[in-house]
Amino acid sequence: MSKIKTDFGIDEALFALGIQNLNDGSSTGSNNFSSGETIESYSPVDGSLIAKVKTTSKNDYDKVIDVASEAFKTWRLKPAPQRGEIVRQFGNKLRELKEPLGKLVSYEMGKSYQEGLGEVQEMIDICDFAVGLSRQLHGLTMHSERPGHRMYEQYHSLGIIGIISAFNFPVAVWAWNTALAWICGDVCVWKPSEKTPLCGVACQNIAASVFKANNLPEGISSMINGNYKVGEMMTNDVRIPLVSATGSIRMGKIVAQAVAARLGKSLLELGGNNAIIVTPNADIKMTVIGAVFGAVGTAGQRCTSTRRLIIHESIYNKVKDALVAAYKQLRVGNPLDENNHVGPLIDTDAVANYNKALKKVVAEGGKILVPGGILDGKGYESGCYVKPAIAEADNNFEIVQHETFAPVLYLLKYSGEVENAIAIQNGVVQGLSSAIMTSNLREAEQFLSVVGSDCGIANVNIGTSGAEIGGAFGGEKETGGGRESGSDAWKIYMRRQTNTINYTTELPLAQGIKFDL
Ligand code: NAD
């Protein structure tokens, strides 16, 4: 295995990714018509201004959609396995640029360099998955009730897919959508988070270089920049049959209504409030590792981060003490330094929300076990570094019901049978990821049964955080109900058509209806 390259700076990474500063101080990517105001991208790692990016005006947006519509006309005619070949090349380009892109992800978003590389690896994995899938976009055949008739269903390309993504997975979520949409014959218009615009520019450049090398129109992939107002141009646009939106529940409710009002389709990947149930039959060592990684990894800024631990009263103190001891070992600091476990939050607003949550849990009657706190001084100049915190709480507290996007873990106690823990686990509005730690088969199966976890993801003896691309990813209830990535998630990017062919000289009607002339 080749050694991971670490000894290069952000400027070198930006250069490798084709991001150059223009005379007006802004940076731009391929196929981007943005001419609006500039947004500035600051690194939460050290507070530096990395670059500026221009936002998309309504005029620019209409140009992007025209280019995308034209590109769709040719791209959909290319046989799906040939589209897969383009995605294969795109995956290889990502392999070449894994280190600079991983570094940009780390520096602009604040996750560790290892996690940044892991995010790019997810992009590569979904490309590999999509290449194989490009030969398997099959529908069913069914037997007709009429003699001499054949029935089957087939899937056709849908059109322009609008992608709206969150800051915490600034590149992978786009790839999850776009790799599948491309092999399905769709073209994509992406609005990355306004908090991580350079990651968007970098990805767009990589995609554009592959399309150019193959003499394909760049409009197969386009990017628009800006805040929610730019996102709204897509949600209200009838030219976009599917909007795939990842972000907060608040955003999802607005997007869902806007898209539904024009009877478009939406794929929603929204907030979670994920719990691990720890039964008396749990392996405590595994539990602690899973819980700590789930709660503090990416500084608690994963949709699948562990927010709640539901622990049986008989082992409560043992788990609590082990966790408090483990938290003492955590090092918070520059995420590009692999000796640190926890990097910064995305910005100072996120720090304020973290602070508010800790105050609120106390005000509601909770007890702080590991106090947390905001770090300042050398190495913490960005003002975005906080210490992971643990509080004892009750599931009914308002703050526990709410997703705080920061490293705050709530310990909740249950007594009696596993059913009681499952009721607590399900007793929130979100339904993304869940887990149980147990070596008892009955408890595990109960958790996975129809009366078990109500989440889109339910794991046994692994934590809530992270997922493999091979499975369909998403959650129930206010998490939005969408599924993307693996399994048959590709179907939402296509339109299904049922075909009936009559190869006789008669015209029999269905359901035995007679219509004699
Ligand atoms: P956010 O909701 O603030 O923003 C997400 C994106 O939506 C951004 O690009 C933003 O500009 C856009 N947006 C906001 N309002 C909009 C509107 N009215 N119309 C159109 N676009 C709009 O979320 P964030 O702070 O960037 O990300 C954190 C949230 O995302 C957390 O709640 C997290 O759980 C969730 N998330 C969920 C998943 C998942 O797969 N379920 C994955 C990653 C993040």
Residue type, 315: I
Q: Which of 246, 354, 478, 485 to mutate to test the pocket of ligand 1 (most atoms within 8 A of CB)?
A: 246
Under CATH, what is the fold of the domain 274-468? Aldehyde Dehydrogenase; Chain A, domain 2 (3.40.309)
Residue 116 corresponds to which tokens in the numbers above? 């940044």
Strands (E) in 92-148, as ranges, are: 141-142
Contact 414, 310 (CB under 8 A): yes
User: What is the rounded CA–CA span in Å between residue 417 and residue 207?
Assistant: 52
Q: Is the CB of 225 under 6 A from ligand 1?
A: no
CB 167 near ligand 1, within 6 Å? yes
CA of 248 to the centre of ligand 1 (A): 4
Cα–Cα distance between 297 and 259 in angstroms, integer?
Answer: 33
For ligand 1, is residue 234 a contact (CB within 6 Å)? no
**39-42 long-range contacts, CB within 8 A, separation 24+:** 39/194, 39/197, 39/225, 39/226, 39/227, 41/108, 41/195, 41/196, 41/197, 41/198, 42/347, 42/382
> What atom in ligand 1 is closest to the CA of residue 226?
11
432 lines ligand 1 (CB under 6 A): yes
Model's pTM, two decimal places?
0.96
Residue 465 in contact with residue 432, Cβ under 8 Å?
A: no
CA of 162 to the centre of ligand 1 (A): 14
- Coil vs helix vs strand at 449: coil
Closest ligand 1 atom to Cα of 484:
40
DSSP state of 56: P
Beta strands, E only, 1-109: 26-27, 38-42, 49-54
Are 226 and 41 within 8 A, CB to CB? no
Local structure of residue 24 (DSSP, 8 states): T
Residues of the chain with pLDDT below 70 are 1-6, 21-31
Ligand 1 atom showing the smallest separation from residue 405 Cα: 31
Nearest to 107 by CA among 241, 14, 175: 14
User: What's residue 35's pLDDT?
Assistant: 84
Please choose from 168, 235, 304 the residue to mutate so as to test ligand 1's pocket, defined by most ligand atoms within 8 A of CB: 168
8 Å CB contact between 391 and 364: no
Annotated catalytic residues are 269, 303
Cα within 13 Å of Cα(57), Cβ side = 7
Atom of ligand 1 nearest to the CA of 252: 2
CATH code matching the domain that covers 10-270+482-496, chosen among 3.40.605.10, 2.60.40.350, 3.10.129.10, 3.40.1280.10: 3.40.605.10
CB 483 near ligand 1, within 6 Å = no
Query: Counting runs of H as helices and runs of E as strands, what totals does the chain give?
Result: 15, 24
Nearest alpha carbon, ligand 1 atom 30: 247
The H-or-E segment that residue 105 falls in is helix 98-109
Q: Kindly state if the Cβ of 243 falls inside 6 Å of ligand 1.
A: no
Contact 140, 92 (CB under 8 A): no
Q: Roughly what angle, to the nearest 10 degrees, separates helices 172-183 and 197-213?
A: 30
Cα dihedral: 413, 415, 421, 426 (round 10): -70
- Domain locations along the chain: 10-270+482-496, 274-468
Tell the burial category of 447 from Cβ atoms under 10 Å away from its Cβ (0-12, 13-18, 19+): buried
Report pLDDT for 516.
82
**With contact defined as beta carbons under 8 Å apart, do 19 and 114 qualify?**
no
Query: 315 exposed, middle or buried (CB, 10 Å; 0-12, 13-18, 19+)?
Result: middle
CA distances 328 to 167, 230, 300, 314, 323, Å, are 29, 43, 17, 24, 9
CB contact at 8 A, 353 and 265: no
107 φ/ψ angles, rounded to the nearest 5 degrees = -75, -40
What is the Å distance from ligand 1's center to 236 Cα? 17
By most ligand atoms within 8 Å of CB, the mutation choice from 105, 164, 298 for ligand 1 is: 164
For position 1, what pLDDT does the model report? 41
Q: Contact, 352 vs 128, CB < 8 A?
A: no
